[in-house]
Amino acid sequence: MAEQKGKKKDPKEWRLEIDAERCKGCGFCVEFCPKNTLEMSNEFNSKGYHPPKVAAPETCTYCDMCEMVCPEFAIYAVSETQKKETHFSDEYLRMDRMPHIWCPGCGIGTVVNCLTKALEEADIPRDKTQIVSGIGCSGRVAGYVNADSYHTTHGRAIPFATGLALAAPDQKVIVVSGDGDLTAIGGNHFFHAARRNANMTVICINNFIYGMTGGQVAPTTPESAIAITTPYGAFDKPFNLPFIADSCGAEFVARWTTYHVRHLQNAIKTALQKDGFSLVEAISPCPTLYGRRNKLGDGLDLMKFYKDKSVRMKKKEHTTADADISYQNEILVGNFVDRERPSLRKAMDESLKAKLGDKYVGWPVPG
Ligand SMILES: Cc1ncc(C[n+]2csc(CCOP(=O)(O)OP(=O)(O)O)c2C)c(N)n1
Ligand code: SF4
Ligand code: SF4
């Protein structure tokens, strides 16, 4: 990928490529193109979806918005002079496993784009990247990333990642998992990893529901939302994940939605540059089990909702305590916390070195 970073792209050198067979017709690219370059075609691909088409190529500024937002990695800019022939995520993913399992209009693929772009921009090579996931639709991310990746047991991504980060300090350990996996069965681990400032970046894909198992209520389901286990509406107060991570002492805490692809990518990049515990919550559509059951429309409708209802955090006005989410109300987004404190590994090394002196053998272990 020899493309020059940060330079405005010359439209004469670039064109858009659409892989119609990869497309599941979600319409994200058409809706979120700032230049109205794209429109949905009337053609069907072999799976029965309508892919987009480039209706007005002369309007395209090659801003990459469509490439970032497309959860199927199906639309991308190419340039012979800039030697870019594939989607930017191709390098980081096991493309032989595509199409992925995620439903049309699911936001998980969009979060994956933000992660791969952040890895590229943070200059973290694939052989220094460790991806750990738990179980769930979001938990399947580990299987698609073309790096060392681990699909662990339900709720146990964080303890697995803690061991990995302590044993291999030269690696960047990244947990990508769902809100149910991380904060219900895995909740205890989540608090303690933040408290201990364990060396990892956690990306929590929060779709407000247990997706993979059929739409049961989760600790993040907003009050009154319908889930299969709360047919008259959820009645528990949901977790405010940024507030929990902040209170436990995380070094970096952010929340964005899959509509905010640039901010999400930048937040992940900042998180990756932290040594200790960082949390990026990515609010993401689950049209199949949250959207449909609550009659909120498809993935595109949920994305439009994020666009309309997201409120940027203002440092002077808001803290993470204001980041509660209630049903169909405003969603506070932003980079909430950025602080420095010794990571788990540093604290452990310093404490043991002070107690044991030369008897303490740190990493790398000689021989
Ligand atoms: C010990 C155990 N309990 C329950 C399950 C069933 N299970 C698998 S995924 C899942 C929920 C996943 O929800 P979430 O983490 O929100 O991810 P999503 O599917 O929404 O991305 C559950 C309950 C399991 N696999 N193992
Ligand atoms: S690159 Fe940007 S301007 Fe061009 S079609 Fe995609 S979103 Fe629109
Ligand atoms: S069930 Fe929901 S979270 Fe799972 S792939 Fe489908 S839309 Fe995505």
Q: pLDDT (tens digit, 9 = 90+) per residue, 194-213?
A: 999 999 999 999 999 999 99
Average pLDDT over residues 8-17: 93
* Structure confidence at residue 366 as a pLDDT band (50, 70, 90): confident
* Structure confidence at residue 3 as a pLDDT band (50, 70, 90): very low
**pLDDT value at 146 more than 60:** yes
Question: Distance between CA 343 and CA 277 in Å, rounded?
Answer: 7
Q: Residue 234 falls within a domain, yes or no? A: yes
For the stretch 201-245, pLDDT in tens is 999 999 999 999 999 999 999 999 999 999 999 999 999 999 999
Q: What is the 3-state secondary structure (H, E, C) of the chain?
A: CCCCCCCCCCCCCCEEEECCCCCCCCCHHHHHCCCCCEEECCCCCCCCCCCEEECCHHHCCCCCHHHHHCCCCCEEEEECCCCECCCHHHHHECHHHCCCCCCCCCCHHHHHHHHHHHHHHCCCCHHHEEEEECCCCHHHHHHHECCEEEECCCCCHHHHHHHHHHHCCCCEEEEEEEHHHHHHHCHHHHHHHHHHCCCEEEEEEECCCECCCCCECCCCCCCCCCECCECCCCCCCCCCHHHHHHHHCCCEEEEEECCCHHHHHHHHHHHHCCCCEEEEEEECCCHHHHHCCCCCCCHHHHHHHHHHHEEECCCCCCCHHHCCCCCCCCEEEEEEEECCCCCHHHHHHHHHHHHHHHHCCCCCCCC
Atom 22, ligand 1: residue with shortest CA distance: 213
Q: Residue 242 falls within a domain, yes or no? A: yes
Can you give the pLDDT at residue 364? Answer: 87
Average pLDDT over residues 50-60: 97
Question: Distance between CA 215 and CA 62 in Å, rounded?
Answer: 38
Q: Residue 300 falls within a domain, yes or no? A: yes
Average pLDDT over residues 323-337: 98
Q: Which domain holds residue 53?
A: 15-86
Residues 229 and 325 in one domain: yes
Q: Which of 163, 207, 145 is nearest to 181 (CA)?
A: 207
Ligand 1 centroid to Cα of residue 195, in Å, is 24
Ligand 3 centroid to Cα of residue 287, in Å, is 7
For the stretch 154-194, pLDDT in tens is 999 999 999 999 999 999 999 999 999 999 999 999 999 99
Residues 223 and 319 in one domain: yes
Residues 310 and 211 in one domain: yes
Residues 156 and 260 in one domain: yes
Residues 139 and 276 in one domain: yes
Q: Residue 356 falls within a domain, yes or no? A: no
> Closest ligand 1 atom to the C-alpha of 182?
15
**pLDDT value at 104 more than 60:** yes
Ligand 2 centroid to Cα of residue 32, in Å, is 8
Residues 137 and 274 in one domain: yes
- Percent residues over pLDDT 90 in the chain: 96
**pLDDT value at 1 more than 60:** no
Q: Residue 310 falls within a domain, yes or no? A: yes
> Residue 82 belongs to a domain with what CATH number?
3.30.70.20
Give residues (CB < 6 A) around ligand 2. 16, 33, 35, 37-38, 60-66, 77
Residues 280 and 198 in one domain: yes
Residues 222 and 124 in one domain: yes
Average pLDDT over residues 278-284: 99
Pull the structure tokens for residue 222.
């907003």
Residues 74 and 194 in one domain: no
> Closest ligand 3 atom to the C-alpha of 290?
2
Residues 79 and 129 in one domain: no
**pLDDT value at 100 more than 70:** yes
Residues 52 and 151 in one domain: no
Cβ-Cβ contacts under 8 Å for 366 (sequence gap 6 or more)? none
Question: Distance between CA 351 and CA 191 in Å, rounded?
Answer: 22
Average pLDDT over residues 147-159: 98
Q: Residue 81 falls within a domain, yes or no? A: yes
Average pLDDT over residues 303-326: 98
Q: Return the ∠ at Cα 177 (arms to 172 and 183), rounded to 5°.
A: 115
Domain endpoint, select from 54, 86, 118? 86
Average pLDDT over residues 26-55: 97
Q: Which of 45, 63, 41, 44 is nearest to 54 (CA)?
A: 41
Question: Distance between CA 349 and CA 173 in Å, rounded?
Answer: 18
Residues 180 and 135 in one domain: yes
* Cα-to-chain-centroid distance, residue 81: 31
| Cβ 219 under 6 angstroms from ligand 1 | no
* Domains identified in the chain, total number: 2
> Residue 297 belongs to a domain with what CATH number?
3.40.50.970
* Structure confidence at residue 8 as a pLDDT band (50, 70, 90): confident
Q: How far is CA 252 from CA 1, 71, 164, 280, in A?
A: 29, 26, 20, 8
Can you give the pLDDT at residue 6? Answer: 59
| Cβ 286 under 6 angstroms from ligand 3 | yes
Q: Residue 246 falls within a domain, yes or no? A: yes
The answer to whether residues 57 and 12 touch, using CB atoms and an 8 Å cutoff, is no
Q: Residue 28 falls within a domain, yes or no? A: yes
Question: Distance between CA 267 and CA 256 in Å, rounded?
Answer: 8
* Other beta carbons within 10 Å of 359: 8
Can you give the pLDDT at residue 2? Answer: 40
**pLDDT value at 317 more than 70:** yes
- Percent residues over pLDDT 70 in the chain: 98
